[in-house]
Amino acid sequence: MALDPYAVLGLKRDASAEAIKSAYRKLARKHHPDLNPGKPEAEARFKAVSTAHDLLSDPEKRARFDRGEIDAEGQEQRPTNAYRRHAEAAQGARYDGQSAGSPFDDLFADMFETRRRAEAAPRPGQDESYRLDVSFIDAMLGTTTPMRLPDGRSLNLRIPPGVTTGQVLRLRGQGGGGRNGGAAGDALIGITVQEHPLLRRDGRNIAMELPVSLREAVLGGPVEVPTPTGRLRVTLPAHSDSGRQIRLRGKGVAAHGAEPAGDLLLTLKVVIGPADAALDAFLRDWSPAAMEDPRAALDFPA
Amino acid sequence: MITLDILVARFPGLEAGQLQEWMAEGMVRAEPGPSFTEIDVARIALMMELRDDLALDDAALPVVLSLLDQLYTLRRELAALRATTPPP
């Protein structure tokens, strides 16, 4: 006579559907006849477990069983050993598990062979990314700066003139090491160019404001100008107004490869300077030859 | 001769695509056609049982099958050996 299906699965009578499924799975894994060849008691247990599960997993049958309308044996037996019957006979050779020779050596050989091969193959190293702040002047003129990588390696990084924020310098072979003879990855260095209080970049040109005194602006003549590339003598044309531009060829971003050097663009800015009684007196007595309205161009429609 | 259509019709819950995947991975080995024999049918029943009732996933199923195949091969070899060895 059949056992109580709840007892077979080790469950209480109010077990949930999930509990039934889980108990069945646990027991079925343990007693599945194809996983326990040559153990008839496992097969008997599995049949009992399957029968119990068949009954309890069907809400209608379970309800009928609970109400005593059917007994635990009212089920059709499942053909649980069908595959084993074939697998142990001659036709089982169709699914030969390649065990000839020393079988236990390669129980897992098939499974691990692929993985081993993949791991033995040359594998290039990973690219590694870094960030580097570059001063405005270094970005303009180019430089070589020592750099220390997090893994302790230090290298000299050549920064070409004209780098811009967002540009990435690639150092071949300075990234992660390759495996099994694979090439090392690259170090990728993202550049951020810092601002400069006096200078502005415009492509390969550099713009700078040049303060001049009233006397220099009116009379012109040579003045000495400090620039990123050193002090330069610049001859101002006479009568240079505020806003006048003077272009110093080749004194901007340094030449690099096929790129010619940029220019340094000076924008004049007249500075009156501290109060000067003589200048005040001169201007008070001075009457310009041609009286021109400097605001004539400010013409707003009325 | 059992064709793929007959097989799919016989097993509710077996999709033709799934079966073709199993065949492509060598887990089910059909005659050209494809045509199947009783051992294939029994094996598919076992695979569906492992997958649906025992909740083996796609990664575990081939591992379990491979071990089972090796086990059954050993048992066939053992039986053959027993048959040819005279009892002591």
pLDDT in tens, A73-102: 654 444 456 788 788 888 888 888 754 444
A294 occurs within a structural domain: no
A43 occurs within a structural domain: yes
B55 contacts in chain A (CB < 8 Å): 25
Select the residue of B29, B54, B74 nearest A99 (Cβ to Cβ).
Answer: B74
- A11 shares a domain with A88: yes
A82 contacts in chain B (CB < 8 Å): 42, 45-46
- A55 shares a domain with A13: yes
Residue B47 is part of which domain span? 2-84
Amino acid at A265: L
Q: How many residues does chain B have?
A: 88
B45 contacts in chain A (CB < 8 Å): 82-83
Mutate to test the interface with B, among A21, A94, A104 (most CBs of B within 10 A): A94
A290 occurs within a structural domain: no
Select the residue of A29, A32, A97 nearest B72 (Cβ to Cβ).
Answer: A97
Mutate to test the interface with B, among A36, A54, A99 (most CBs of B within 10 A): A99
DSSP letter for A221, please.
E
CATH number at residue A188: 2.60.260.20
Contacts 24+ apart (CB under 8 A), A101-110: A103/B70, A103/B73, A103/B74, A103/B77, A107/B67, A107/B70, A110/B66
* Domain total in chain A: 3
The ranges of chain A with pLDDT < 50 are: 1, 75-79, 99-103
CATH number at residue A51: 1.10.287.110
A90 contacts in chain B (CB < 8 Å): 76
A18 contacts in chain B (CB < 8 Å): none
From A36, A68, A94, give the residue that closes a domain: A94
- Note the pLDDT of residue A81: 60
By C-alpha distance, the chain B residue nearest A28 is: B54
Give the phi and the psi of residue A215 in degrees, each rounded to 5.
-65, -45
A78 contacts in chain B (CB < 8 Å): none
A105 occurs within a structural domain: no
pTM attached to this predicted model? 0.45
ipTM: 0.75
Distance between CA atoms of A233 and A240, rounded to whole angstroms? 16
Residues B29, A37: C-beta atoms closer than 8 Å:
no
* Domain total in chain B: 1
CA A70 to chain centre: 64
pLDDT in tens, A160-172: 999 999 888 888 8
By C-alpha distance, the chain B residue nearest A95 is: B69
pLDDT in tens, A98-144: 544 444 555 566 666 666 666 677 777 788 888 889 999 999 999 99
Chain B nearest C-alpha distance from A103 (Å)? 8
Select the residue of A82, A99, A111 nearest B42 (Cβ to Cβ).
Answer: A82
- A186 shares a domain with A221: no
Q: Which residues contact A259 (CB under 8 A, 6 or more apart)?
A: A162, A204
- A88 shares a domain with A23: yes
pLDDT in tens, B59-78: 888 888 888 888 888 888 88
Mutate to test the interface with A, among B36, B70, B75, B82 (most CBs of A within 10 A): B70
